[in-house]
């Protein structure tokens, strides 16, 4: 990751900006939205190994003076499914990619919740996204 | 139909706070299917977008609207050896990829 940041610095103009946009190390919350009602169905169990490694890489390039910190902020990011099958495909793919423990409990909970509502509903996965802004160091 | 990411466009508001994007030369690393690429292009940036996954880059190329074709170029490449010269870009964006 430090190598990727160093390579990014090479292609940046001397005072150019590097933006690192990625999900924060905060457990995703899964809601069911039906009409005006929003119901929390569960909180995911991520490990955040990649997120912490990325944070360490950013800290390393700041310490080394390759970049200077401009800002760090976060914004909310929702991922919305209108069908259970789409949510299931995303969750199963994400869990496999991240080597997470089984989230079958969450799938069952969402499926049951959908069975209990009539009319269209949305499954919303919420988590903040971190936005780091770094400036290419001038030295 | 897959899941929709950030339908509220919070991402665009956050990126606008960084500064103007019109005419800015951007390298986007980890563009995936081009979701963020198109948002950057719509803000006026000139984007070179790379991803190591050739199938995602093909999908991004297919989904590129004609009106942004002159401002977006997709390439298959990884972050560890960027296919660009020194100092080529005003901004580099790691798109959920660091």
Phi, psi at A25, each rounded to 5°? -80, 65
Q: What pLDDT is stored for residue A137 in this prediction?
A: 84
A67-81/B4-5 β-pairing: antiparallel
B37 Cα distance to chain centroid: 3
Nearest to B3 among A7, A22, A81 (CB): A81
Range of the domain at A95: 2-136
Total domain count, chain A: 1
Whole-angstrom CA distances from B91 to A12, A59, B19, B69 are: 6, 19, 11, 20
Q: Please say whether the beta carbons of A20 and A129 come within 8 A.
A: no
Tens of pLDDT along A27-48? Answer: 999 999 999 999 999 999 999 9
Tally: H helices and E strands in chain A: 4, 5
Q: What ipTM score was computed for the predicted complex, to two decimals?
A: 0.94
Report the C-alpha gap between A12 and A9 in whole angstroms.
Answer: 5
- Sorted by sequence, the CB contacts under 8 Å of residue A60 that are 6+ apart come out as A2
Sign, Cα dihedral of B76, A56, B24, A65: negative
Give the separation between CA B22 and CA A108, rounded to whole angstroms. Answer: 46
Tell me the chain A residues in contact with residue B8 when contact means C-beta distances shorter than 8 Å.
76, 78
Hey, of A5, A7, A66, which one would you mutate to test binding to chain B, going by the most B CBs within 10 A of its CB?
A7
**What is the distance between the alpha carbons of residues B95 and A85, in angstroms, rounded to a whole number?**
26
pLDDT digits (tens, 9 = 90+) for B49-93: 999 999 999 999 999 999 999 999 999 999 988 888 999 999 999
pTM of the entire predicted model: 0.92
Question: How confident is the prediction for chain A on average, in pLDDT?
Answer: 95
């Amino acid at each position: 990751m430090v190598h990727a940041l160093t390579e990014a610095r090479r292609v940046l103009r001397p005072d150019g900006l590097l933006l690192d946009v990625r999900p924060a190390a905060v457990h995703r919350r899964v809601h069911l939205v039906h009409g005006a009602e929003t119901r929390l169905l569960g909180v995911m169990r991520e490990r955040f190994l990649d997120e912490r490694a990325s944070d360490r890489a950013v800290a390393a390039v700041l310490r080394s003076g390759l970049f200077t910190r401009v800002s760090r902020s976060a914004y909310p990011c929702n991922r919305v499914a209108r069908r259970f099958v789409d949510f299931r495909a995303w969750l199963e793919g994400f869990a496999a990619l991240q080597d997470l423990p089984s989230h079958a409990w969450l799938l069952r909970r969402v499926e049951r919740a959908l069975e209990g509502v009539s009319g269209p509903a949305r499954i919303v996965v919420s988590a903040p996204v971190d936005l780091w802004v770094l400036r290419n160091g001038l030295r | 139909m897959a899941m929709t990411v950030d339908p509220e466009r919070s991402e665009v508001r956050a990126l606008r706070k960084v500064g103007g994007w019109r005419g800015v030369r951007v390298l986007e690393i980890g563009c995936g299917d081009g979701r963020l690429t198109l948002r950057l292009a719509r803000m006026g940036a000139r984007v070179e977008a790379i991803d190591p996954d050739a199938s995602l880059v093909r999908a991004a190329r297919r989904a590129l609207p004609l009106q942004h074709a002159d401002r977006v170029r997709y390439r298959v490449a990884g972050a560890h050896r960027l296919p660009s010269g020194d100092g080529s870009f005003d901004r580099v964006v790691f798109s959920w990829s660091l």
